[in-house]
Amino acid sequence: MKTDNKTSLFQKDQIIESIKQSFIKLNPRIMIKNPIMFTVEVSTFIMLLVTLNSVVSSSQGSFIYNLLIFVTLFLTLLLANFAEAIAEARGKAQADSLRKTREETPAKLIVDGKVKNVSSSQLKKGDLFECEAGDVIPADGEIIEGLASIDESAITGESAPVIREAGGDKSSVTGGTKVLSDHIKVVVTTQPGESFLDKMISLVEGASRQKTPNEIALTILLAVFTLIFLVVCITLKPMADYTNTNITIAAFISLFVCLIPTTIGGLLSAIGIAGMDRALRANVITKSGKAVETAGDVDTLLLDKTGTITIGNRKATDFYPIDGLDKRSFIEACMLSSVSDETPEGKSIIELGRGQGIRMRTLNTEGAHMIMFTAETKCSGINLKDGTQIRKGAFDAIRNIAKEAGNEFPNEIEGIIQRITSNGGTPLVVCINKKIAGVIELQDIIKPGIEERFERLRKMGVKTVMVTGDNPLTAKYIAEKAGVDDFIAEAKPEDKMNYIKKEQAAGKLVAMMGDGTNDAPALAQANVGVAMNSGTQAAKEAGNMVDLDNDPTKLIEIVEIGKQLLMTRGTLTTFSIANDVAKYFAIIPALFMLSVPQLSALNIMRLHSPESAILSAIIFNAIIIPILIPLALKGVAYKPIGASALLRRNLLIYGIGGLIAPFIGIKLIDLFVGLFF
């Protein structure tokens, strides 16, 4: 039930809810959190009083004129609230669709060894429950007994089932997912309503959203701008009196509201919520808005080779029999050794053999005994009925087998191995009856398009580091081929940790992705740690984001989402402040034109009348907010063209654009308003 990423920006029910919220948010106690819009609210209230007063007295301008100004200001408030509300509604809709999967489900609680049927909401941390094929897992937990294949499509959208088993890195299960086969016992790891996902979902909804440090700094800057313009407007009164200029309250309030950065002020929190929402749409849940911002600053990206840079696992690409052995029988032996080998490498050997024209049917495996791979022997294989032993495995493991039996390790084979390794491949040596028979070449397949993505990252100023268990030679080959900047070969978990610490000591911000328990310390150490949803609870707790898709390339997207978030803030601030120039030229002449006719020279837009000029300016000020809502929600497009070029581009679009747009907008509105005033 993966949510559709292409849902339109505005949906009917969301809009209705947001309109309702726009009014609720008028409550001054909520409003004061946004100092800029709060001053607008106070101004609106003053305008209300002025409007009511103008029913009986016309010293402050006509009733209709005051009323129009009041209505426009009120609309400005509602539109700003609407922007925030619609961002929240979209986040909430996304969260609801996640949560729907987690509603009341029956749970099989185990109490004193007996199974008791309860509701999932009654499960507490530490409780034990069991699940069988067809059951929906009622709560987050860890498998303590058994193995099961689980359909996690409810949260990841990935239809292929995954295997979860007790012990190790794949023991955690998520509430709402469905058991497809087998039987597991699970211990609950969270309190009801406080599961990891629950906590994160509430963040996205904005309920417990806190302002990020960057947002606070920007709010301070905007608040100071507001203060400056408050001073400008208040001090203008005595100066106007000195020159015998009468300025109405409506004009003062309009000047003030137009000058303060209402555009960015009204959209600021919507931008923040939308940033987290965009992450969620990419199926990444972030623990805080700060994590998304930090992602935009990342300097170094640690990426696992497998799954990120290369497709899944290695694939067999060639067979090299020893001199004197017929290639066909060597391939048969290889295939026999892999008949019941479930590893991707094993499967790829069968596949390659078939491709070379050998049919599975011709292989006689009756009465054969399979030898599974273990960490100790480092090899796997088959014992046939006739006593033939076939083994395949790492080169030193097979060499030991041969040497123990007194057989030599031919130089020829060493040569083949050398050649394969230097090409970035992995050799798999095969022996028949403890005699070396040949080598299978396994190769990593680099994901198509990954080079371009790394190039993109390089232009963003992000250094990519490949982490792999391969030997340095293989690692170097793949690193060069894929275009990563650095690599860690034969990596152990502590190597990752050390690398992160080294980079951080040089002042860099590091992002990494991980899933295992042994990744947890590194995930916690990294500035941005993305845990895969399939990973252990420990990993998920340690990181500051969870990727529901378990897609290792997600890091790249997360970095862009972070950058987009900051850019959207920056560009809209620039736009908002640049607008002031035109607004000054609309309102200042309007204020003084009657008493100081000479100053109509400043009316460079040739606006129709003082009333029409002021009305046009505040109407423009109000309608620019909804016009920019889609941009605030979608984010400004990020182009990896280097910081200087990006600044130039955004300054041209949003700076110069912000300078010119209101001149055109106000003039157009004035052409219409001028018909009446």
Partner 1 sequence: MTCSPSKTEDMNTEILGIIAQIVLMVVLSYPLGKYIAKVYKGNKVWSDFMKPIERTIFRLSGINPNEEMNWKQFLRALLVVNLFWFFWGFVLLGVQGYLPLNPDGNIGQTAHQAFNTCISFIANCNEQHYSGESNLTYFTQLFVIMLLQFITAATGMAAMAGIMKALGEKSTKTIGNFWNYLVLSCTRILLPLSLIVGFIVITQGIPMGFEGKIEIKTLEGSTQNVSQGPVAAIVPIKQLGTCGGGYFGANSSHPLENPTYLTNMVECLSILLVPMAMVFAFGFYVNRKKFGYSIFCVMLAAFLIGVFINVSQEMGGNPRIDAMGIAQDNGSMEGKEIRLGAAATGLWSIATTATSNGSVNGMHDSTMPLSGMMEMLNMQINTWFGGIGVGWMNYFTFIIIAVFISGLMVGRTPEFMCHKVETKEMKIASIVALLHSFFILVGTALAAYLYVHAPSFVENEGRWINNPGFHGLSEILYEFTSCAANNGSGFEGLRDNTWFWNFSCSIIIIFSRFIPIVGQVAIAGLLAQKKYIPESTGTLRTDTATFGIMTFAVILIVAALSFFPALALSTLAEHFSL
Residue type, 520: A
Distance of CA 435 to the CA centre of its chain: 53
Least spacing, CB of residue 450 vs partner 1, in Å = 20
Alpha carbon distance 525, 577 (integer Å): 39
Check if the beta carbon of residue 142 is closer than 8 Å to that of residue 189: yes
Residue type, 14: Q
Residues 6+ apart with CB under 8 A from 279: 285, 286, 292, 545, 558, 561
Q: Is 304 part of the annotated catalytic residue set? A: yes
Check if the beta carbon of residue 260 is closer than 8 Å to that of residue 36: yes
Alpha carbon distance 69, 250 (integer Å): 7
Q: Which one from 127, 304, 515, 580 is the annotated catalytic residue?
A: 304
Nearest residue (CB) to partner 1, 192 versus 655: 655
Alpha carbon distance 590, 259 (integer Å): 15
Least spacing, CB of residue 273 vs partner 1, in Å = 17
Least spacing, CB of residue 269 vs partner 1, in Å = 16
Least spacing, CB of residue 425 vs partner 1, in Å = 34
Nearest residue (CB) to partner 1, 213 versus 312: 213
Least spacing, CB of residue 591 vs partner 1, in Å = 8
Beta strands in 212-347 (DSSP E): 284-286, 300-304, 315-321
Q: Residue 435 belongs to what H/E stretch?
A: strand 435-443
Token couple for 114:
């007996």
Alpha carbon distance 179, 136 (integer Å): 6
Residue type, 366: E
Nearest residue (CB) to partner 1, 205 versus 580: 580
Alpha carbon distance 556, 497 (integer Å): 20
The three-state DSSP-derived secondary structure of 509-559 is: CEEEEECCHHHHHHHHHCCEEEEECCCCHHHHHHCCEEECCCCCCHHHHHH
Nearest residue (CB) to partner 1, 442 versus 510: 510
Check if the beta carbon of residue 113 is closer than 8 Å to that of residue 658: no
Nearest residue (CB) to partner 1, 601 versus 675: 601
Token couple for 572:
């809209």
| SS3 category, 542 | helix
Nearest residue (CB) to partner 1, 296 versus 307: 296
Beta strands in 93-249 (DSSP E): 106-111, 114-119, 128-132, 141-151, 162-165, 172-173, 178-188
Nearest residue (CB) to partner 1, 36 versus 139: 36
CB atoms within 10 A of CB 342: 9
Strands 106-111 and 545-547: unpaired
Nearest residue (CB) to partner 1, 327 versus 648: 648
Catalytic residues: 304
